[in-house]
Each structure stands twice: as C-alpha cells, then as structure tokens.
Amino acid sequence: MSYIEVKDGSKLSVPSNPTIGYIEGDGIGADISKTTIQVINAALETAYRDERSIEWKKILAGDEAMESTGKHLPQESLDELKQCIVALKGPLTTPIGEGFRSLNVTLRQYFDLYANIRPVRYFPGVPSPVVAPEKVNMVIFRENTEDVYSGIEWRYDSPEAKKLRGFLNTEFGVKLTDDTGIGIKPIGRFKSTRLVRKALQFAVENNRKSVTLVHKGNIMKFTEGAFKEWGYQVAESEFKSKIVREEDYLRDPAAYKDKIVVKDRITDNMFQQVLTRTDEYDVIATTNLNGDYLSDAIAAQVGGIGLAPGGNVGDIHAIFEAVHGTAPKYAGMDVANPTSLLLSGSMMLTYIGWKEASDILERAIMESYKDRKVTQDVARLMNIKPLKCSEFGLEVMKRMTRPQE
Ligand code: NAP
C-alpha cells in the first residue's frame, strides 16, 4: 500500500495510487458510499487512464464497528485514519451514551480538523425555493473546534451549575436564578486566526472576490467581536498585499479591483444579505454556531443539504463527508441521493491535487441534473420518474468526458 505522506511538515506528497480511507456510514451510508466509490473510480479512469488510481481502504466506524468490535469508533480505526491522512466519510448515527456526543465531533476533535468547509453553488435544473439560485456561489469556512459546541455546559439542577452560579455571584455580582442552566462559549485568538487564515488562503489561491467575517460581535463583544477583530488582524498582517478592507474599496473600487475585499457582517443581517444581495458574498469565515446555521440556510437556496458537500480540514488531516445524516428510513433501498458524498469526494480529489478528476466529476454531476436524471428527493419536486441511487451513479459516469473530448 502507498500512503500519502507529509513533506516539509505541511505539504502532501501523493503517490499515483494512494491508499485512501473511507467510512461507509450508517443507514443510507452503504448505498451512497458504494455508488460514490464507483463514480470516483470512473472519474479517475477518465482523467488519468491507468496512470493514477485510489486504493480504497474500508475503515470501520458506527453501527458496523459496534457489531464487530463493541465500539462505535475503535482505536484501530483512528490509527488507520491517521495513517491515510485523507478520508471520505458517509453519515454516522449519533450513539447515545458513550461519553461523547457525536462520532463526528469526536473525529473533528481527535484530528484537530478545525475548518469545516462547505462550498455551495447552484446546479441548473435543481428545484430551488428562491428566484435566482444561480447567484449562489459561496464557500463557508466554519470554525469547528470551539464556541458553544465545546460541551462545557451544566444542567440547571447540577452541583456544578449551582457552584458556578455561586462563584459568579460572589466574585462578579452576577445574579442568576436557581433554575438557570449554564453553557460556556470559548472563542480564542489562535483558533479564530487559523480559521480565518485558511479562508483567506483559499480566497487567494482560487481568485475569489471577497472574504466576509460573520459574527454577532455587537452583542457578544469578547467572543464574536474578538473573532472579527482577530480576523481583520490576520488579513492585514499576513495578506496585506492581497486584500483591501471594504471601506477603502468602496471609496475607490477601480483602484482595488484586483484585491480581495475583506468585510464583516453581523449574523442576523447576513441571513438576509445572502437572500437579498446574494452575489455580493463569496468566501465566508465564521464561528461554529453561526456557521452551522448559515451553511444549511445557504444550502437551502440551491436545493437543500442533500446536494451539499463538506470537508473537515486541519493543517494536514482531512475528512470529507456527506452533510446530511443517515436517513434511516431509506437504508438499504438504493434510493438515497449520493450527490453530497460525490461532491465531497470531488473536494477530496482537489485537496490531494487531482483537480482534473474533480472537474470531470463535477461537470458530469451537473450534466445529469441538467438532463433531469435525478433521485427521488429531487424527482418528486420536478414531478418526474426517479432514478435509484446506483442508476444515478451510472448516469453520472455516462456523462464523464475529458475537457478536449
Ligand atoms: P437526515 O439523516 O439527514 O435525514 C433527514 C431527511 O433528509 C430524510 O428523511 C430525507 O428526507 C432527507 N435526506 C437526507 N439525506 C438524504 C439523501 N442522501 N437522499 C435523499 N434524502 C435525504 O437527518 P436526521 O433524520 O435528523 O438524522 C438521522 C441520523 O443521522 C441521526 O442519528 C443523526 O445524528 C445522524 N446525522 C449524522 C450526520 C453526519 O454523520 N455527518 C449529520 C446529520 C445527522 P425525506 O424524509 O423528506 O425524504
């Protein structure tokens, strides 16, 4: 087996037939993973003939792992993921009562996958609830490791909550009633800065027009407000020659036409801006909770999360995953839509530098939607006959061509 290696501490060295891990996933995971792997293999074949391929290594997690090892996420699987560096992941059921809240959160924390990256754009033909979905072309960078998702919270009647209420009262004069549960929202400079840095790097490398810092800093000044301040600081200290602040840009747009505009928006305003001024937003960098809400809301504009890909990316390790869950009622029926996982696979190919295959895959998916070859979730909105998951995969494969063909 040839594994991806890390050179100079941060660069990936990808062999021509890397071993890449995949977690099949629970529920519909088996169906969508099977189709996705077939389709990605076809994209590689179209792009590179037999010069490049992926050796897929199945990594156990979720219900399947529980059955064979007694654990939802055995150490061996974590070790394998570590060795592979890059992996593709189907959806996992959130197990109840194993000392952590979700396998997804565990994976993100274990590998310090601090950026949740969600590209959202419109595929012609897909039914949408908005008038101009084609204006959506955004990439959301959501901080993945802190904020209110850190799990630092106590029930109102716990001894910890009581103690904390007492401490707040005696030390700071903050009076909370006895029926108050308490959660803590940590937002730090290091973690905010590295997330915004990643968003800015992406914007520079992909010639994007703007980076918007989304925050609720008018109310939460020292967490959300600090995120915004640290965001501007990293932009101005590390990307000075590439960026311009919005207020300067607006004074003289022509003078700064080649620069990336860095701006900020308060979260509630941003929710309306993405609907009313859609094409003014491009790359978005935001805190964990804002990003969670905002990414699904933007995905809804182009047809919903069934079509939205995602990647959890750290400095080196990356896990690309379907954004939706296990949809248990469709498990084993071969009817689920594999698009989210397919597009996540496309992000993965770009991440390892195999952009040709990624482009072929995305074009073929787009053509399938244009030709109204779709699974039941989309077909029912179009009032047309649906394809099975595997049939959709075949239609995508039929539409794969090299650019010059
Ligand atoms: P869900 O699995 O995303 O499913 C909700 C509904 O969305 C489905 O009933 C179906 O809608 C539609 N849907 C989702 N994916 C689809 C696909 N690929 N093709 C067609 N339709 C799709 O959300 P949930 O029911 O809230 O969660 C179920 C389990 O998944 C939970 O254990 C949850 O913790 C887990 N989950 C895992 C992840 C992850 O691993 N990243 C993410 C979210 C949730 P219709 O019924 O309208 O057809």
pLDDT tens digits, 253-273: 999 999 999 999 999 999 999
Confidence of residue 8 (pLDDT cuts 50, 70, 90): confident
Per-residue confidence (pLDDT) for residue 184, from 0 to 100: 96
268 has catalytic annotation? yes
Report d(CA 274, CA 278) in Å as an integer: 4
Q: pLDDT tens across 315-352, in order?
A: 999 999 998 999 999 999 999 999 999 999 999 999 99
Which residue has its alpha carbon closest to ligand 1 atom 40? 91
Percent of the chain exceeding pLDDT 70 equals 98
- pLDDT value for 97: 55
CB within 6 Å of ligand 1 — which residues?
A: 28, 91-94, 104, 306, 321, 324-327, 329, 336-337, 377
Residue with CA at minimum distance from ligand 1 atom 24 = 325
Distance (angstroms) between ligand 1 centre and the Cα of 360 equals 27
Q: Is 70 exceeded by the pLDDT of residue 98?
A: no
Residue 379 has a pLDDT of 94
Q: What is the pLDDT of residue 9?
A: 80
Better-scored residue on pLDDT, 323 or 222: 222
Mode of pairing for the β-strands spanning 309-313 and 115-121: antiparallel
Q: For 373-385, how does the pLDDT look when each residue is reduced to its tens digit (9 = 90+)?
A: 999 999 998 999 9
More confident residue, 26 or 103: 26
**Which residues 6+ apart lie within 8 Å of 222 measured at CB?**
none
CA of 61 to the centre of ligand 1 (A): 17
For the question of residue 292 being annotated catalytic, the response is yes
Residue 99 is predicted with a pLDDT of: 54
Mean pLDDT of the chain: 95
Q: Quick: pLDDT tens for 106-146.
A: 899 899 999 999 999 999 889 999 999 999 999 999 999 99
Quote the pLDDT of residue 10.
80
User: Structure tokens of 65?
Assistant: 């792992």
Is 2 strand, coil or helix? strand
Q: Six-digit token pair at 147? A: 């904020």
Pairing of strands 5-7, 11-13: antiparallel
pTM above 0.85, yes or no: yes
Residue to mutate, 100, 326, 381, ligand 1, most ligand atoms under 8 Å from C-beta = 326
CA distances 151 to 102, 167, 216, Å, are: 11, 20, 20
What does the pLDDT read at residue 405?
A: 59
pLDDT in tens, 155-192: 999 999 999 999 999 999 999 999 999 999 999 999 99
